[in-house]
Structure 1
């Protein structure tokens, strides 16, 4: 029997040691490593558009590189012209009017999420987190001293939680509810009525809401993603919006996100950032300025391609016996249930979990997917359809062939 390691002998702090590696990035890294080794791996793991960043955005960055003005430190909270442009873009796209002083430019959406939680959570404060959830949410909450409280939705409700479920999870320690629409990993989109109902519930109980709008423009089939503070102005004093250029403009590697919220919270988060990272790369900020100030033509083109791929992947997955794949209304993910396949024999193995099934799929047919355990709901797989049409069809065809061999 071994004893716990004394804190004096622990090499990594308990707080950081408890953080799990990002499952989506781990799957993507493994797929890329196998491809680099010459294996014909097709990766459905990373949530990353396969399109290049639009040329006009790249050109703005090139010009910024040549301008000595951007070779120096700039304000920790973001270039003033970018903050003003984000405020204007928010009014244009969401109908939500904010001042530039309510904006903090961050190193991507992940930093925005962490800093937002860090600015409003005290140790032990609870955050209601609808599941399936993106892997970073609960880790950011824990790092900020909070306690994530999961509320699980499944395919029977389109992966959308109800006010009744949220109320059942509320305690005297509840401080924040997380709201994400469109959703990663499920592609779920809440209607305006559902969005307003959740907002009114939060107002009624004096709760904060952190709403992640990173996929705001990627919606399909007549769906629309309503911005919570625009729908419910009463919530604005306790609402933080997180967004960024990564998904809309195919700029995942540029690392520019932002927080929009009450001025005191944004000031506190800016103070934190001033010590953690200082300003976001000026070149990336200038690129983001060109993005948010420009048209949405590029995202419309991407959206048409994603919609086509969405329909293809849903159809092909639902052709597999034992797989149930709802049709997502937003983002670029599908989240099929594979519960009916667990425990069945597939090429001499009987995967008991979606982790084991995902490993089997990678080993046998060289297709990388992310198991539902990464998103708080075992028994599912997440597949991104932000990859080329040919790769998508080839990858799902391999999965179809493998899983068709399942037997009791």
Structure 2
């Protein structure tokens, strides 16, 4: 027996300091440690209450400990956990069928995260291009300020150099262009391009929606050159924008779509959706994953899709969005020295700081957290809101009240 372990290992006291002692320092988490949650309500180790407007970075869209999902997962836990990819299972077949029926796609591949979904999409795109056109067609076009994951391939495709520093040499034949710039896209998408990957709304890059004209132009240029168009909907998908997937409110249908985050409401799962023709270029053994599409994840995700993909539910997301935007419009009018115009889609919302306060988004969110409101940032200049899609009018009003109080305290100390 390991001499370091004792019989009380599962119940020993732990604090925020424990993170600094035993975990690799890839994060800088908040001082408080959440211990339980329900809906949008979170409590920490001191039993302090918080209103969660982060939903785990646009993940827990049906709220924490959603009773329908708890019940479904509990039943599956007592039935079948894992098999390995030498076998299939009923929940994953039902989930794939539901996603195919609800989207443009004919085929689904399941994995465990958004990064893995994008990795699969990019590998498939290159395989498709090499097989159909030859190895010269391998270049990948992405956007500056984009984010597509943390594997070496996906972080290289992402358009934020700060995340690739020190990991060189990076995968080659990857180019980045400005977001929403049609002429830059026209110049970059040539006959040697295998794929263009784009977020229909940039999340980590500042919560910036893609212009419909820009997305349509990407579709046109890909059709002209034989490149595949990949929509990264890891953050925007599964109801976040008020449609099941954001592409559904645009004039564009992608060739490949990636999904994760809200798909499992906190249970790890990712998905890559594509057409019959493209899917055939992944043959047996060409790609895989040990845990992807396991019965537990697939059970949760199927229930998530069934609950969110309802007209009334999606209409409520847009209604809640309009209420938050109305509050933010009043906020920016009252504090024009601090904020620019709010932007986003549905319940993925960015509030940019004005010129004199750039770089201080985290300072504002820390004060809000102290007052009981959990918020995100999207880069150093943008406060990001991504509440659960079930957010109530009362919770929207409470978030507005706390944010205003936090702004007053921030400005008093500025």
TM-score calculated relative to the size of structure 2: 0.65
Q: Which residue of 2 aligns with 1:272?
A: 287
Q: What is the CA distance between 1:116 and its match in structure 2?
A: 2.2
1:233-252 CA-partner distances (Å, limit 9, x unpaired): xx7xxx221124x436xx43
Tell me how far apart the structure 2 counterparts of residues 288 and 210 of structure 1 sit (CA, whole Å).
22
Question: For 1:389, which of 382, 385, 396 is the aligned residue?
Answer: 396
Tell me how far apart the structure 2 counterparts of residues 206 and 289 of structure 1 sit (CA, whole Å).
33
Q: Residue 360 and residue 304 in structure 1: after superposition, are their counterparts in 2 closer, same or farther (change >3 A)?
A: closer
Contact 1:314–1:327 (8 Å) recurs in 2: no
1:309-335 CA-partner distances (Å, limit 9, x unpaired): 3432443245322311233233x2322
Q: Which residue of 1 aligns with 2:339?
A: 323
Question: For 1:128, which of 141, 148, 159 is the aligned residue?
Answer: 141
Q: Which residue of 1 aligns with 2:16?
A: none
Alignment of 1:99-114 (within 5 A): 102-114=107-119
Tell me how far apart the structure 1 counterparts of residues 334 and 172 of structure 2 sit (CA, whole Å).
42
Tell me how far apart the structure 2 counterparts of residues 293 and 41 of structure 1 sit (CA, whole Å).
29
Q: Which residue of 2 aligns with 1:66?
A: 78
1:133-192 CA-partner distances (Å, limit 9, x unpaired): 346378652468356544344xxxxxxx13213224447764322122244245555566
Secondary structure of 2:247's aligned partner:
coil
Q: What is the CA distance between 1:61 and its match in structure 2?
A: 2.4
TM-score calculated relative to the size of structure 1: 0.65
Q: Residue 393 and residue 380 in structure 1: after superposition, are their counterparts in 2 closer, same or farther (change >3 A)?
A: closer
Tell me how far apart the structure 2 counterparts of residues 225 and 310 of structure 1 sit (CA, whole Å).
18
Question: For 1:240, which of 256, 262, 268 is the aligned residue?
Answer: 256
Asked if 1:82 corresponds to 2:92, the answer is yes
Tell me how far apart the structure 1 counterparts of residues 333 and 361 of structure 2 sit (CA, whole Å).
17
Instruction: Give the length in aligned residue pairs.
Output: 342
Tell me how far apart the structure 1 counterparts of residues 368 and 212 of structure 2 sit (CA, whole Å).
43
Tell me how far apart the structure 2 counterparts of residues 390 and 191 of structure 1 sit (CA, whole Å).
30
Tell me how far apart the structure 1 counterparts of residues 72 and 62 of structure 2 sit (CA, whole Å).
21
Alignment of 1:20-99 (within 5 A): 21=26, 26=27, 29-30=29-30, 32-33=32-33, 36=44, 38=46, 46-48=57-59, 49=61, 51-52=63-64, 55-67=67-79, 70-75=80-85, 79=89, 82-83=92-93, 85-92=95-102, 94=103, 96-98=104-106
Note the residue ranges of structure 2 that are not aligned, 5 or more in a row: 1-24, 35-42, 128-134, 158-170
Contact 1:313–1:392 (8 Å) recurs in 2: no
Q: Residue 395 and residue 80 in structure 1: after superposition, are their counterparts in 2 closer, same or farther (change >3 A)?
A: same
Q: What is the CA distance between 1:336 and its match in structure 2?
A: 2.9
Q: What is the CA distance between 1:400 and its match in structure 2?
A: 2.2
Contact 1:241–1:259 (8 Å) recurs in 2: yes
Q: Residue 304 and residue 77 in structure 1: after superposition, are their counterparts in 2 closer, same or farther (change >3 A)?
A: farther
Question: For 1:117, which of 117, 122, 126 is the aligned residue?
Answer: 122
Q: What is the CA distance between 1:265 and its match in structure 2?
A: 4.4
Query: Which structure has the highest helix share of the two?
Result: 1
Tell me how far apart the structure 1 counterparts of residues 51 and 111 of structure 2 sit (CA, whole Å).
32
Question: For 1:226, which of 239, 244, 247 is the aligned residue?
Answer: 247
Q: What is the CA distance between 1:199 and its match in structure 2?
A: 0.6
Q: What is the CA distance between 1:260 and its match in structure 2?
A: 1.6
Alignment of 1:201-350 (within 5 A): 201-214=221-234, 215-216=236-237, 217-219=239-241, 225-227=246-248, 231=252, 239-244=255-260, 246-247=261-262, 251-261=264-274, 262-267=278-283, 271-274=286-289, 277-293=290-306, 296=310, 298-301=313-316, 304-320=319-335, 321-330=337-346, 332-342=347-357
Contact 2:108–2:273 (8 Å) recurs in 1: yes
Tell me how far apart the structure 2 counterparts of residues 314 and 75 of structure 1 sit (CA, whole Å).
50
Q: What is the CA distance between 1:292 and its match in structure 2?
A: 3.5
Question: For 2:184, which of 154, 165, 170 is the aligned residue?
Answer: 165
Secondary structure of 2:266's aligned partner:
helix
Tell me how far apart the structure 2 counterparts of residues 363 and 50 of structure 1 sit (CA, whole Å).
26
1:41-73 CA-partner distances (Å, limit 9, x unpaired): 776553243624654443332222232xx2441
Tell me how far apart the structure 1 counterparts of residues 250 and 172 of structure 2 sit (CA, whole Å).
23
Note the residue ranges of structure 1 that are not aligned, 5 or more in a row: 1-19, 154-160, 343-352
